[in-house]
Amino acid sequence: MIVRYKKILVYFILFLFLPALVSFADSEFVEIDGIIEPSEVVNVSSQVPGILDEITVERGDRIRKGQVLARLKSGVETAAVNLAGARVEFGKRKLERNKELYDKQLISVHDKDELETELKIMELQLQEELERLTLRTIRSPISGIVVERTGSPGEYIGDDSIMTIAEINPLYVEVNVPVELINLIKKNMLAEVRPESPVGGVYKVRAVIVDQIVDAASGTFGVRLKLSNPSYKLSAGLKCKVRFLKK
């Protein structure tokens, strides 16, 4: 009885994929369903805990890499930078005054070296405080679209994300291809992507990943294609048809 069911299952799979196989063998393409997805999705959080002072973007905004997304309250850090900066300026003036004394041999080489070292330490302390202040500003790690904003000014944030950003240039087209085609679909193979209505259109793409492991349950293997989207005309999440071209 089990053998009989296995035969029925094999016939059913062949019934589903046989048209595609025949199409690929006898014509210039095979058409398979796919879905258009972001090339990268990032949950943005802060490197340090603190209270959100402001968020500069909203859901749906297009952003560029390095753009300021949010700032934490930074009164203490700003004061520390100002204090360290004042110490550096004082150290420079003190060293300048004592250079004249050194030229006149009124202070020793040891005293001069001590003054220079003190100034160097002050400058390093200023650099450290500037780094601490920089960490209070959250910048985007990628260019893309704000998908979700979860944080609000006045909230305390630790390790939790404050927003999600999706990179949609380029986009990835994910396809599950019948295992019968595993020897026919190759990396860098050309294909055409036809997004679902009402978007429509035809876009030329190439396969950038062809999985070498088959999913036994579905009898398919994954293929990823890279779709350029510089004008952000296409949206992620669209269903599409993918035609793998033989030439």
Domains defined for the chain, CATH in brackets = 26-42+164-245 (2.40.30.170), 74-135 (1.10.287)
CA distances from 181 to 19, 29, 38, 92, 101 (A): 12, 12, 26, 73, 85
3-state secondary structure of 112: helix
Residue 38, pLDDT above cutoff 70: yes
Give residue 29's pLDDT band: very low, low, confident or very high (50, 70, 90).
Answer: low
**Of 34-43, 44-53, 90-99, 100-109, which gets the smallest average pLDDT?**
100-109
Residue 107's nearest CA partner among 116, 90, 86, 88 is: 116
Distance CA 181, CA 185 (A): 6
Q: Can you give the pTM of this predicted structure?
A: 0.77
Query: Which pLDDT score is estimated for 1?
Result: 47
> How much is the average pLDDT of 135-153?
95
167-212, pLDDT tens digit by residue? 999 999 999 999 999 999 999 999 999 999 999 999 999 999 999 9
The residue with greater pLDDT, 240 or 101, is 240
- Classify 41 as helix, strand or coil: strand
* Amino acid at residue number 20: A
Q: Which two tokens stand for residue 228?
A: 């350029």
pLDDT > 90 in the chain, percent: 72
Compute the chain's Rg from CA coordinates.
30
pLDDT band at 120 (very low <50, low <70, confident <90, very high): very high
Among 217, 219, 225, 227, CA closest to 185: 225
Query: Which pLDDT tens digit goes with each residue over 149-176?
Result: 998 999 999 888 999 999 999 999 999 9
DSSP 172-228: EEEEEEEGGGTTT--TT-EEEEEEPTTT---EEEEEEEE-SS-BTTTTEEEEEEEE-
